[in-house]
Structure 1
Amino acid sequence: MQILKTLALVALVAGCSAETQGNMRYILATYDKDSLKHYTIHDQSWRIFDNTDAGKMMITSSINQGVIEGSKRGLTYGLAKKKWREEAEFRPAAEAYLANKGCKPTGGRLLLDGQYEFDYSC
């Protein structure tokens, strides 16, 4: 099974830019599936990977929402506007999630389309 996962990752990364490959390696090294939390705010579901030891969290839309947005882009041959590329699209959910922990975001960056990372302090 591990061989299949490795082959799938190699195939995926082979078609990506060096920056995307680096970001994917960073994500895999920084976040694990055990840090996944599901969070809903204003009828929008989010997946949050929280690395409390590092004071970092990565936020991304739900899988269903990601599929919907990907389909829109595919059906319009890439003409539909990409969502979830700007900090302002992620910040309200990140702030609300972090506020529940008594924390605040201190900085952030887009890692991949639809995946944004925030540093935070508590």
Structure 2
Amino acid sequence: MKIKYTNRYRTVILDVFSIYWGMRNEGTKEEEVFTYFYAIYGPQDAALGVYDSKEVEVVDPRLEGEWVYTGNMRFNGVCYAPLAKERLLDDVIDRDPEAIKKFLQFAIRDGLLDAELYKDAL
């Protein structure tokens, strides 16, 4: 899956590796459904960033590779399987170098990222 994100400096196409949704302020007038995309910004910052669905455009809705459902009482989602199975998601978001390296190895192995593009992050 790919999303288009525009900030004040540029527009980029990002690869999505996790999607979460849920309800904010449930039972109040401010009740709101949310969806977040966890996407890799690129080789210069190989960690996952969090992007609100209201701030991006989905440009390719296909989920490539193996994905798994994750859910609990607060929110539900789908995640690129190695991030869930290896318990890497939180560490990759927190920019742990070893977790990022492991995540990139899985994504490259599965053909989701270009090895040449991410060689410096490995």
| TM-score range normalised by the length of the shorter chain | under 0.3
TM-score, normalising length: structure 1: 0.28
Q: Which has the higher strand share?
A: 2
TM-score, normalising length: structure 2: 0.28
